Amino acid sequence: MNNSLLLPLILLPLFGALLPPLFHRFGRTASAWAAAVVVAAALLLLLSLLSPVFGGQTLLYHADWLPAYGLNLSLRLDGLSMLFALLILGIGLLVILYARYYLSERDPMGRFYGFLLLFMAAMLGVVLSENLLLMLVFWEMTSLSSFLLIGYWKYRADARQGARLALTITGAGGLSLLAGILLLGQISGSYELSVVLDSADIIQAHPLYPVTLVLILLGAFTKSAQFPFHFWLPHAMAAPTPVSAYLHSATMVKAGVFLLARLFPALAGTELWFYLVASTGMITLLLGAYHALFKHDLKGLLAYSTISHLGLITLLFGLGTPLGAVAGVFHIINHAIFKASLFMAAGIIDHESGTRDMHKLNGLWRYMPHTATLAMVAAASMAGVPLFNGFLSKEMFFAETLHQGWLGDWSWLLPLGATLAGVFAVAYSIRFIHDVFFNGEPIDLPRTPHEPPRYMKVPVEILVALCLLVGVVPAWTVAPLLATAASSTIGGELPRYSLAIWHGINTPLLMSLIAMLGGALMYALRHHLFALHARCFRPFDAKQVFERLLYKLILLARGLTEVLENGSLQRYLGLLIGSVVLVTGVALWDTPLSGPVPSAEVDAVTLVGALALAASALTTTIWHRHRLVALIQLSVVGLVVSVAFVRFAAPDLALTQLSVEMVTIILLMLVLYFLPQHTPAESSSLRKGRDLLLAGGAGASVALLAWGVLTRPYQTIGDYFMQQSLPGGGGHNVVNVILVDFRGFDTLGEVTVLGIAAIGILMLLRGLRLKMPAADGEGRPWASDRYPMILAVISRPLLPLALVVAIYLMLRGHNMPGGGFIAGLVTAIALILQYVASGIAWTRARMNINYIKLTATGVLLSTLTGLGSWLFGYPFLTSGFGHFHLPLVGEFELATAMLFDLGVYLAVIGSTLLVLANLGTLTLINREMAEEN
């Protein structure tokens, strides 16, 4: 069951892709050899598996990747995969030889072969996958490697654009295919082909079958350049010719039709399949054939011819009949052989004459008769001339168009279209030969043409020989391969078919005859047709359209992004606050707001406080343009809040609030100094209205929430804290015990935040040079009295007093209102007062403390206190306390929490002063600069 030789088939070129770039330093030939050896090894490996596959076996390999989601590394080698793998490796080997002579000295050859082998691995993966998701993995990898190969000559704009166009179209198809495969897997219950191919009945009866089919077909059609997605392929011809010969005619573009063949047993045979696939194939067949005739670029002609032939193959599979599938597989082989050789011939012509323009290329027969002969054989095969391989599959195609049963009275459409396409094919094949090799003399070619290096022709010769061999003795050459491949495509008994060259005089032969004569006639009349074409069709450049479309799309995206993100902080905040109003409204819409708790009596003090709070909030907003006034109003808010804390018996909070308030006001005063005293009115009335709505809504939301919470009964873990504070935390002051013990971890985090914030502000201030205003907003100069004597005199004795108060607050904190945080702020304010009263230089000379280190020391002390509990086998921050007795002092209590609090104390001082002192330094720098001037 598990054939371990399958995996190396893919891995060889995958890892082998690294070799050519590595060998590049030994020369271009070494690089080519490295690539060739890798491919040859893979080919030999494949050939060793030939006989079991020809014996009708399906070789499988399975390894889990992500089995729960159906993605497995399972591989499959049956007739169809064998055929494709042979094409990929066989033609790949020839292309490697060809490219060695095609690429110039300046082209980085190691990279070329690296990409080529990468593509080869991906393509082998596509055809060897048993798991459909795995196939998709490789499918997308072929698109990616194709992108790299088309863009190989990256300095050329057409290469870059062609590469992106191809990636976009095939990438989109790949995504669609992904969706299709996922649906297919959902329907059939597995992503393994063995299961999927056996579930045709379930799949085709499923309501999602149409969607699935369309999604999968989108993938196949984009890859195989079917109408209306065909336009990327001509632009992919910006790639070096070996790439065009290999990817864009023989292998990668065949991935789409490969998919049609692979899923043929599961998906084909329905009316929908016929209409979608056959009509797309027919349109593509005709469109490609028509355009091929009118291209003056050799590769352009071949590109459209490729599109046309891919359409032909698609049409054959679209018929949904077993014979159609056989013919399709046969034409895949034949087209790969003759088209690859034609591309190579075109590449030789381009290489040796310097142009691909058929206006200039004439009469090359005299210069390169050998190449011309090879090209003629291949072109004859493309035209479907008897005795060449193209003829055989084309006859089968003509015959098949006569035997379909879907169209009823309109059945004649198919053979008509097929014959018409045949006419065009003959005409452009003649043109390819006659225009280039005969038809007068060359017209100012960049170079004098001559035969290419010997080895450059070898790949063409081999392919052309195959054209002949298959064409003349099909039964001895291609028959077994075709039979194996076709039978694994159909997944059942092969229908009867004959590879004979002569079937007697019948309708297909007549159609061929018409095509031959019509084609010759059409070529004879070509000049009239060119004129007519030029009149009817304006030149249409898909790449330009794509680029323009993309450009417009980008402009659109940019416009949309700029509309959404206009860089306005007001808008972003507005969106946030608006969202708050919206979600609160939605949540509270249908709910009783008030709870069962009755509201308390309103007393006068509370009422006054509330009114003061509301009034100061209002006046802050109203006077926000007068910054100093607004600041004073703001401080009223803080004060009232402190009073409220006192009113509700929370002295700790009141003290904290008060000291925070002071520090904040000092901070804001320092900042305001540098700002203009007044803000100009900027908002339009519309905007004011919006802001009023937002503010009102947000205020109402929060008020509603507060009302809802306060009117409901209140049961919290707070009671536990009340009970446990003394026995568990060793302190009477519950607030402090919560801060340093119950939730000491929060405090540690917040103190860290304080420290980080201080460092952040320090970073902002570093290197900041602000212009110091000489006067206030009204034009009054600032007071010249820099350090008021009275303030200085009072503040100095105040410092030791304040420090004593701070230490007292800290020590008693565990049992009475106070604690490290408050004490820290009190100390900081006292120290700041020295800066304010006596100047930075004076203070610094007397107190040179590195505040960063002070802050860090504080946090470190708290952290280490927490770590200390590990020594006693307790978790981080577990506190311990005990009662001690000292003479004179008497009985007292010591708790580790106090050590923690000391850390908080130091950190608060450090970070507060770090910010304030450095903000103050800004003025110092300014002053020094001013004095220097």
Decide: helix, strand or coil at residue 895.
strand
Within 109-138, which residues bind other proteins (CB under 8 A)? 133, 136-138
Nearer residue to other proteins within complex by CB, 784 or 848: 848
Nearer residue to other proteins within complex by CB, 138 or 673: 138
- Out of 529, 577, 662, 924, the residue judged to bind other proteins by CB under 8 A: 577
Which token pair is 207?
């309501």
Q: Is 531 in the site for other proteins (CB under 8 A)?
A: no
Q: Is 64 in the site for other proteins (CB under 8 A)?
A: yes
Is the separation of the CB atoms in 318 and 277 below 8 Å? yes
Smallest gap, in angstroms, from Cβ of residue 490 to other proteins? Answer: 29
Q: Which helix (H) or strand (E) element contains residue 24?
A: none
Smallest gap, in angstroms, from Cβ of residue 525 to other proteins? Answer: 43
Q: How many CB atoms lie within 10 A of CB 190?
A: 18
Smallest gap, in angstroms, from Cβ of residue 751 to other proteins? Answer: 10
Q: Is 581 in the site for other proteins (CB under 8 A)?
A: no
**How many chain residues are in contact with other proteins, going by CB under 8 A?**
119
Residues 259-298: x where in contact with other proteins by CB under 8 A, - otherwise, as a string: ----------------------------------------
Within 495-524, which residues bind other proteins (CB under 8 A)? none
Smallest gap, in angstroms, from Cβ of residue 649 to other proteins? Answer: 11
Give the list of residues 6+ apart from residue 825 with CB closer than 8 angstroms, or none.
656, 659, 660, 662, 663, 908, 912
Smallest gap, in angstroms, from Cβ of residue 706 to other proteins? Answer: 8
Nearer residue to other proteins within complex by CB, 275 or 648: 648
Q: Which range in 362-370, 563-571, 777-785, 838-846 contacts other proteins by CB under 8 A?
A: 563-571
Which token pair is 639?
């004060």
Smallest gap, in angstroms, from Cβ of residue 183 to other proteins? Answer: 9
Residues 533-552: x where in contact with other proteins by CB under 8 A, - otherwise, as a string: -----------------x--
Start-to-end C-alpha separation, the chain: 91
DSSP, residue by residue, 338-388: HHHHHHHHHHHHHHHHS--BTTT---GGGT-HHHHHHHHHHHHHHHT-TTS
Q: Which amino acid is at 780?
A: R
Smallest gap, in angstroms, from Cβ of residue 576 to other proteins? Answer: 6
Q: In whole angstroms, how far apart are CA 627 and each of 538, 543, 621, 678, 762?
A: 68, 60, 10, 6, 24
Within 757-796, which residues bind other proteins (CB under 8 A)? 757, 759-760, 763-764, 766-767
Rounding to the nearest 10 degrees, give the CA dihedral for residues 753, 759, 761, 767: -170
Question: What is the distance between the alpha carbons of residues 302 and 287, in angstroms, rounded to a whole number?
Answer: 13
Which token pair is 635?
């401080």
Q: Which range in 151-159, 328-336, 487-495, 814-822 contacts other proteins by CB under 8 A?
A: 151-159
Q: Is 575 in the site for other proteins (CB under 8 A)?
A: yes
Q: Which helix (H) or strand (E) element contains residue 72?
A: strand 71-77
Q: In whole angstroms, how far apart are CA 189 and each of 174, 197, 828, 870, 874?
A: 21, 12, 72, 56, 55
- Out of 3, 57, 186, 664, the residue judged to bind other proteins by CB under 8 A: 186
Question: What is the distance between the alpha carbons of residues 94 and 540, in angstroms, rounded to a whole number?
Answer: 35
Phi and psi torsions of 97, nearest 5°: -60, -45
Smallest gap, in angstroms, from Cβ of residue 872 to other proteins? Answer: 10
Smallest gap, in angstroms, from Cβ of residue 169 to other proteins? Answer: 10
Within 617-676, which residues bind other proteins (CB under 8 A)? none
- Out of 155, 410, 502, 540, the residue judged to bind other proteins by CB under 8 A: 155
Q: Is 591 in the site for other proteins (CB under 8 A)?
A: yes
Smallest gap, in angstroms, from Cβ of residue 854 to other proteins? Answer: 10
Q: Which phi-psi region, left, alpha or beta, contains residue 879 (left: φ > 0; alpha: ψ -120 to 50)?
A: beta
Within 694-753, which residues bind other proteins (CB under 8 A)? 702, 705, 708-710, 712-721, 723-724, 728, 741-746, 749-750, 752-753
Smallest gap, in angstroms, from Cβ of residue 750 to other proteins? Answer: 6
- Out of 54, 674, 842, 876, the residue judged to bind other proteins by CB under 8 A: 876
Closest among 90, 94, 16, 4 to 47, alpha carbons compared: 90
Decide: helix, strand or coil at residue 60.
strand
Question: What is the distance between the alpha carbons of residues 595 and 707, in angstroms, rounded to a whole number?
Answer: 9
Is the separation of the CB atoms in 298 and 358 below 8 Å? yes
Q: Is 882 in the site for other proteins (CB under 8 A)?
A: no
User: Within the chain, how many helices (H) and strands (E) appear?
Assistant: 41, 4
Smallest gap, in angstroms, from Cβ of residue 171 to other proteins? Answer: 5
Phi and psi torsions of 568, nearest 5°: -95, 120
Is the separation of the CB atoms in 631 and 665 below 8 Å? yes
- Beta pairing class for 890-895 and 881-886: antiparallel
Nearer residue to other proteins within complex by CB, 701 or 827: 701
Question: What is the distance between the alpha carbons of residues 565 and 582, in angstroms, rounded to a whole number?
Answer: 21
Nearer residue to other proteins within complex by CB, 528 or 558: 558
Q: Is 106 in the site for other proteins (CB under 8 A)?
A: no
Task: Classify residue 752 by burial, with Cβ atoms within 10 Å: 0-12, 13-18, 19+.
Answer: middle
- Out of 25, 51, 68, 681, the residue judged to bind other proteins by CB under 8 A: 68
Q: Is 685 in the site for other proteins (CB under 8 A)?
A: no
- Out of 30, 50, 175, 665, the residue judged to bind other proteins by CB under 8 A: 175
Dihedral over Cα of 352, 357, 358, 359: its sign: negative
Smallest gap, in angstroms, from Cβ of residue 592 to other proteins? Answer: 6
Which token pair is 155?
């300095």
Nearer residue to other proteins within complex by CB, 67 or 696: 67
Smallest gap, in angstroms, from Cβ of residue 350 to other proteins? Answer: 22
Q: Is 163 in the site for other proteins (CB under 8 A)?
A: yes
Q: Is 413 in the site for other proteins (CB under 8 A)?
A: no
Rounding to the nearest 10 degrees, give the CA dihedral for residues 707, 709, 711, 716: -150
- Out of 44, 597, 607, 671, the residue judged to bind other proteins by CB under 8 A: 597
Q: Which helix (H) or strand (E) element contains residue 304?
A: helix 298-318
Question: What is the distance between the alpha carbons of residues 193 and 531, in angstroms, rounded to a whole number?
Answer: 51
Q: Is 435 in the site for other proteins (CB under 8 A)?
A: no
Nearer residue to other proteins within complex by CB, 207 or 408: 207
Q: Is 3 in the site for other proteins (CB under 8 A)?
A: no
Smallest gap, in angstroms, from Cβ of residue 595 to other proteins? Answer: 7
Closest among 282, 274, 294 to 227, alpha carbons compared: 282
Question: What is the distance between the alpha carbons of residues 368 and 370, in angstroms, rounded to a whole number?
Answer: 6
DSSP state of 678: B
Nearer residue to other proteins within complex by CB, 448 or 850: 850
Q: Which range in 26-34, 304-312, 680-688, 872-880 contacts other proteins by CB under 8 A?
A: 872-880
Q: Is 693 in the site for other proteins (CB under 8 A)?
A: no
Within 828-867, which residues bind other proteins (CB under 8 A)? 852-853, 855-857, 859-860, 863, 866-867
Within 322-351, which residues bind other proteins (CB under 8 A)? none
Smallest gap, in angstroms, from Cβ of residue 517 to other proteins? Answer: 47
Smallest gap, in angstroms, from Cβ of residue 158 to other proteins? Answer: 12
Nearer residue to other proteins within complex by CB, 111 or 533: 111
Smallest gap, in angstroms, from Cβ of residue 859 to other proteins? Answer: 6
